[in-house]
């Protein structure tokens, strides 16, 4: 029983390292895709996406917010 536990702990370290490498690769890919999307937006509109947009007019901070008022993040602007 004890030998089995030691062998599992030895085998889990390489597996953990592989999982971390896979997560890092996935994260780098996602960041690269965001960069490409921002570059595409810049090429299409000749300006970087705004931080926040309110399609109904100027952005105001009201407490409580109006029912018809909503803000759109820059992330929405770069979606395909």
Is this structure's pTM higher than 0.75?
A: no
pLDDT value, residue 21: 95
Give the pLDDT confidence of 57-75 residue by residue, as tens digits: 666 666 766 666 677 788 8
- The structural domains of the chain, with segments of one domain joined by +, span 2-77
% of the chain with per-residue pLDDT over 70? 68
- CA 28 to CA 79: how far, in whole Å? 18
Pure H helices in 1-80: 2-45, 74-77
- CA 38 to CA 56: how far, in whole Å? 24
Q: How confident is the model at residue 44 (pLDDT cuts 50, 70, 90)?
A: very high
pLDDT value, residue 34: 94
């Amino acid at each position: 029983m004890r030998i089995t536990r030691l062998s599992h702990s030895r085998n889990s370290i390489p597996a953990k390292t592989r999982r971390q490498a896979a997560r890092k690769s996935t994260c780098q890919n996602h960041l690269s895709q965001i960069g490409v999307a921002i570059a595409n937006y810049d090429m299409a509109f000749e300006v970087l996406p705004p931080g926040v947009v309110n399609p109904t007019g100027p952005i105001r901070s009201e407490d409580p917010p109006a029912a018809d008022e909503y803000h759109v993040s820059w992330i929405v602007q770069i979606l395909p």
